Chains A and B, each alone.
Chain A
Amino acid sequence: MNLANWASNNLGYIREQLAKHGGILFRNFHIDSPAKFENFAKAIGTELFDEYGDLPREDPGSKVYGSTPYPADKSILFHNESSHMHRWPMKIFFYCVKPAEKGGATPIIDCRKIYNELDPAIIKKMSEKKLLYVRNFVTGLDVSWQQFFQTSNRAAVEAYCKRAGIEYEWKENDQLSTRQLCNAVSRHPHTGEMLFFNQVQLHHISCLDASTRDSMLAMFDEKDLPRNVYYGDGSPIESSVMDEINTLFDRLAVRFQWQATDVIMLDNMMVSHSRDPFEGTRKIMVAMAEIVSQDEMPTI
């Protein structure tokens, strides 16, 4: 059974189910090549996004990316893709070429549940203050600014930042610091549901494992950390708030074991994702579609 053809003939049904569940796992359709994965994603997602600087491109000609290159023994914490930016994909697809020998799940959480179950006082404060994402592009750590912005031309970076509402500052040794104010909660543009839509766990220094956090704080002043997040006014997000968020995420997370040829499609606003540590080799590919911008979002 050809999944791309089936999807083309059942778009209404797929959209309806995605709006209801937030994520659909397509299993046993024998998607056995990146080209078939890309065709399927195109069949559902219309135009695929091919200007993403945070992930390595699988092949120069394709619109499919490798997953985040991060040490296998570490977790990648929960995030909605690009929710720390001025625009993001509405749909994100993951394709399992090869599951890890051990671990390596892609846990997911329904962001409607987070919004509804988190302490309303936290939601209110984050909603009012918003979130300030601070990023310091440090050579050799994380992606470089050249990779992220896909140019080595400083003027082009500055023009992008101005368009995207990003504050920027060039520093010594060709380093770049950026600060971007984003909403912490959003209203889904199609269903109208309220969502905890952000990257607060991925960016907050307290959420790193102890050894990584200690290493980072030994190397950098807090203001120079590669990634961090604050309330929108620059004040720190309290540890008690992060503890409550982390506890809720742990309780709501859904884990499943990847099988080779699996494809999962997520509504990127409705569902947050992460990556568990793993052993052995693991190959997951990513495609993103239907880019929307903050300006297009309904009022909260």
Chain B
Amino acid sequence: MASTMGPKASLKKGIQRKREELDLSAMRLTNESYFSPDNTLPLIIQPAMEG
């Protein structure tokens, strides 16, 4: 059966829907690495994305 909800009601429902939480800790802004796995000096930190 097709929905009988009008466009305004649909929009309202959409707005009322709980926003999805964005886990910022999961968004890695940097990458870490080493020159050699045997030596952790220095730690190398680089941007995860160019720009």
Binding site for B on A (CB under 8 A): 1, 6, 17, 20-29, 108, 110, 254, 256, 264, 266, 271
Q: Pick the residue among B35, B41, B45, B49 that contacts A271 (CB under 8 A).
A: B41
Q: Pick the residue among A1, A25, A29 that contacts B42 (CB under 8 A).
A: A25
> Please, which residues of chain B bring their CB within 8 A of the CB of A254?
35, 39, 41-42
By the criterion CB–CB under 8 Å, are A26 and B45 in contact?
Answer: yes
Q: Give the docked Cα–Cα distance between A6 and B46 (Å).
A: 11
Q: Give the docked Cα–Cα distance between A252 and B29 (Å).
A: 32
> Can you list 19 pairs linking A and B with CB atoms under 8 Å apart?
A1-B49, A17-B43, A20-B40, A20-B43, A21-B40, A21-B42, A22-B41, A23-B41, A25-B42, A25-B44, A27-B45, A28-B47, A28-B50, A29-B47, A108-B41, A108-B42, A254-B41, A256-B35, A271-B41
What is the number of contacts between chain A and chain B, taking CB atoms within 8 Å? 50
Q: Give the docked Cα–Cα distance between A25 and B45 (Å).
A: 6
By the criterion CB–CB under 8 Å, are B41 and A110 in contact?
Answer: yes
Q: Give the docked Cα–Cα distance between A21 and B39 (Å).
A: 9
CB proximity of A247 to chain B, nearest CB, Å:
18
> Please, which residues of chain A bring their CB within 8 A of the CB of B41?
21-23, 108, 110, 254, 271
Task: Give residues 7-51 of B contacting A (CB, 8 Å).
Answer: 29-30, 32, 35, 39-47, 49-51
> Please, which residues of chain A bring their CB within 8 A of the CB of B47?
1, 28-29
> Please, which residues of chain A bring their CB within 8 A of the CB of B32?
17
**Extra contacts besides A1-B49, A17-B45, A25-B45 (18): CB < 8 Å:** A1-B29, A1-B47, A1-B51, A17-B32, A21-B40, A21-B42, A21-B43, A22-B41, A23-B41, A24-B45, A25-B43, A27-B44, A27-B45, A28-B47, A28-B50, A108-B42, A254-B42, A256-B35
> Please, which residues of chain A bring their CB within 8 A of the CB of B51?
1
> Please, which residues of chain B bring their CB within 8 A of the CB of A1?
29, 47, 49, 51
Between B45, B47, B49, the greatest number of chain A beta carbons within 10 A of the residue's beta carbon is seen for: B45
By the criterion CB–CB under 8 Å, are B29 and A6 in contact?
Answer: yes
> Please, which residues of chain A bring their CB within 8 A of the CB of B45?
17, 24-27
